Structure 1
Amino acid sequence: MSVSKSNIFECVVVGKGLVGSAAARHLQNLIGNVAVIGPDEPKDYNASSVFASHYDQGRVQRIIGVDPVWTLLNQRSAMRYPMLEKESGIQFHTPVGCLYVSHVGKDEYVDNVPTQAQKFNTGYQFLNSGDEIHKCLPAYNFPNQAFGVLENGPAGYINPMNLVQAQLALFNKQGGVTLTDTVSSVRKSGSEYEVDIESGETLRANRVLITAGAFSNFHSLIPKPLDLFMKSETVLLAQVSSAEVLRLKNLPSLLYEIDNGSVEGIYAVPPVIYPDGNIYFKIGCNLPSDIVFTELAEIQEWFRHGDSDANIPAIRDALNVIMPDLKVEKFKSKRCLISRTKTKKAYIGRADDHQLFVAAGGNGYTAMCSEATGEIAAHFTVHGVGSEGFNIEDFKPVFN
């Protein structure tokens, strides 16, 4: 799409993933004349310079987070899902519940659940042992010393690709401009910003919001890099039959806090259909073999040629312990990226002394709260404060 050189956008959002699409929709509501730009999922990874982890069909949705800020982000996001689905006509939310399990019995998260549940008026059920978890959810198998917290809907899982499409559909319906391209640089030019894109065009804007995830630190998007810890993540997709889907249709998503030296921090999503037409049960975790990134070339090499298949045995073994009766036809791996912040909250704030803003660093939780995160970023970009209920100081970026 060609954009007139005389057109000055009120805001250009760089990155049209989960946070960027949400922020763009809120910005269009707040000020209008907004453009969002970013590449689609690449057909040829060797020909692409940027990538994303939301090219997926299943992400865990919980409500009670690790602290009240994350809980409010999750709850605010989930409350909007029915509206987003209805107005866009795109279904992305499956509220089957979410099971949190601590391998060692009650942990800090479990101890904080009652207080948070009361504060946010959300329900939960304690499952006091592995046996009790198995009686409630026979498909799951945990050691007897384990302790579980079961949340009912709206906890469950979301389809992140469909969520992005729902956000963009409403953004476009409101008159926003969506551009499919990659930004090569952002620079201040007088009172405006110039956003150069790889196709050769330049966009002009009064404000720019960078929502490019780990890639926010590259391509000359912000003057100083964010303090981000970036690492590889391998996801295992276990192909199952339609009979298994029927058997597991009410299975909640899973967050399993375990660190046994082989795997750490397991998450799993019940079987869903992927674009290749197959049905996969998804499971991922941290591994000793995960790669820490500091340079763009390292991230690109991981997405293009990384040996994620080497991690299949470790994750497969963990899956076999958790779900010994799961009938898997075959396995395949998927490469992802996680960026963690120094503050353990998303970074949302100014990237310069003028009108360049950034929202990045999801700490592995972005998908389940991207709607509220995007809203905060939009409100700060326009008003200099967070959206209702949030203190923007909680999200202050840390730069290197």
Structure 2
Amino acid sequence: MERFDFIVIGGGMMGAPCARYLAEAGHSVALVAAPEPAPGGAGPFASHHDAARIARALASDPDWARLGARSMARYADIEARSGERIFRRSGGVLAGLRAGPLAGFTKRFLAVASGMDPAPAVAEGDAGGWTLPEGSVAACEPGGGWIDPRAMARAQVRLAEAAGAQVFPQAAIARAGRDVTLADGTRLSAGHVIVASGPHAASDGFLPRRPAMTVWARTVAFVEVDETEAERLADLSTLIWVPGETWTHDLYALPPVRYPDGRWRLKVGGQGASGPRIEDAADMAAWFHGPGDPEVGAALLAELRRALPGLREAATSTGPCAVVWTETGFPYVDAAGPGVTVLAGGNGAAAKCGDELGRLGMLRATGAELAGEGYRATFEARWA
């Protein structure tokens, strides 16, 4: 049985950078990073198996803004050292309404924007190439854009390996104390285990107790466009917006992105606290083997068309996604028991700031407190 200082279960947005920071600090590290399943495969599935996620420092909460800003400040270094192209700067728009159920959301992100240096420009009405609902106010972040989460994960794994981490490209199937068994029967042992298994953390049994988190099955919708339309929309920003005064949740949209199959697609998503929940691996597999919810997809496409009138569509489609909401609204970066740390719970906003969350996970796993890191949030876990 091979022994390490640390075993990190999960090679995604939080786990891979955590392993990298541990290895760069001189620890011996085993990173258990299951590969992305083939279409129709058995999993494990992960939300970073995607081509584009919004990257922004601006948020409606100062801690999320700080997590994003610190991570984004490191993108260039990660790209230079890994050789991966991760970030595309397109500008980002965060828009809301001054009236209605989400008026407080608008007030909060404007307050955060006013404290940024440089402060994003604030515009009434349309912004970033998008047509917004009447009464909208938008904060425009020139340094925003989007990341390729697959490329980010590859980069973090590559840098972890360069720093001495040993990567095991398969799934973990069991943990007993500080020993971990892999799918091929390999057994690893460590002084400490970090569980960064994303939406699976509440049900995979790697933690000694169940974290209080909800895993929601979500639907995203895509509009495929041809090369000419993609070129016409090349200056389009990313967007988070509130479609109307009666809405109780926001939506997000990305400009045209070239997907691995070579086709250009815009993506739109966003749902409130409703819809099916994912309780275990069987639920996850069933959801990710399907197309999502076509009715939700149709509603998302309708809002995208309102925000981008004149869009020349070649085809549309829907797909499955999953989001983890914690009871605190922040990721759990905390001790789960003797020799075990939990690093999970993205709340739909963690892809862009995974590097900083991985660093915090490294600190917590090595016994450091997070109180001096400049956050109001404690990142303490709550347990079911």
Question: Is TM-score (shorter-chain normalized) higher than 0.5?
Answer: yes
Asked whether the 8 Å contact 1:183–1:219 carries over to 2, the reply is no
Q: Any conservation in 2 of the 1:263–1:286 contact (CA below 8 Å)?
A: no
Q: How does 1:38-117 map to 2 (within 5 A)?
A: 38-48=33-43, 50-104=44-98, 107-113=103-109, 115-117=111-113
How many angstroms apart in 2 are the aligned matches of 1:260 and 1:276?
38
The 3 A distance-change label for structure 1 pair 102 and 34 is same
Q: 8 Å contact 2:33–2:170 — kept in the other structure? A: yes
Aligned mates of 1:31, 1:320 — CA distance in 2 = 51
CA distance in 2, matches of 1:342, 1:287: 15
Task: Give the deviation of 1:249 after TM superposition.
Answer: 1.4
Cα distance in structure 2, aligned partners of 1:63 and 1:288: 24
| SS of 1:383 mapped into structure 2 | coil
Q: Tell me how far 1:345 sits from its aligned partner.
A: 0.8
Mapped to 1, the partners of 2:83 and 2:153 lie a distance apart of: 13
- Does the 8 Å contact 1:127/1:149 carry over to 2? yes
Question: Helix, strand or coil for the counterpart of 1:45?
Answer: coil
User: 1:144 and 1:107 mapped to 2: Cα distance?
Assistant: 14
Counterparts in 2 of 1:296 and 1:390: CA distance versus 1, 3 Å: farther
1:237 maps onto 2:222 in alignment: yes
Q: Tell me: CA distance 1:301–1:102, structure 2 relative to 1, closer, same or farther (3 Å).
A: same
- Corresponding position of 2:123: 127
SS of equivalent to 1:373: helix
User: Does the 8 Å CA contact 1:123/1:152 hold for their aligned counterparts?
Assistant: no
User: CA shift at 1:201, angstroms?
Assistant: 1.1
Could you say what secondary structure the match of 2:373 adopts? coil
Q: Which residue number corresponds to residue 362 of structure 2? A: 378
Distance 2:172 2:294 in 1: 31
* Contact in 2 for aligned 1:262/1:314 (Cα 8 Å): no
Deviations 1:214-271 (A, max 9, x none): 2012232011111002111111111111112211212110001346778942111111
Contact 1:348–1:360 (CA under 8 A) maintained in structure 2:
yes
Contact 1:12–1:36 under 8 Å retained in 2: yes
State the Cα distance separating 1:111 from its structure 2 match.
2.7
Query: Which residue pairs with 1:30 in the alignment?
Result: 25
Opposite residue 357 of structure 1, the aligned amino acid is T
Partner in structure 1 of residue 15 of structure 2: 20
Give the alignment of 1:206-217 within 5 angstroms: 206-217=191-202
Q: Could you give the per-residue CA deviations for residues 55-98 of structure 1, whole angstroms, max 9, x where no partner exists?
A: 11111111122222111101100000010111111111112211
The alignment yields a C-alpha RMSD, in angstroms, of 2.2
Pairs aligned (count) = 382
DSSP-derived class of the 2:351 partner: helix
Distance, in Å, in 1 between the alignment partners of 2:226 and 2:361 is 41
Correspondence for 2:344 among 357, 360, 384: 360
Distance 1:250 1:116, change over 3 A: same
Structure 1 CA distance for aligned equivalents of residues 357 and 60 of structure 2: 16
Deviations 1:169-223 (A, max 9, x none): 11111111111111111111xxxx1101111111111111000112012232011
Q: Which has the higher helix share?
A: 1
Percent same amino acid among aligned pairs? 24
1:160 counterpart residue number = 149
CA distance in 1, matches of 2:294, 2:103: 32
**Residue identity matched to 1:336:** C
Instruction: Say whether the 8 Å CA contact 1:19–1:371 is kept in structure 2.
Output: yes
Q: Distance in 2 between matches of 1:16 and 1:198?
A: 15
1:10 aligns with 2:2: no
Match of 1:342 in 2: 327
Is the Cα contact below 8 Å between 2:203 and 2:279 reproduced in 1? no
Change (3 A) 1:303 1:260: farther
Aligned-pair distance for 1:30?
A: 1.8
Partner of 1:148: 138
- Other-structure match for 2:175: 186
| TM-score, scaled relative to structure 1 | 0.90
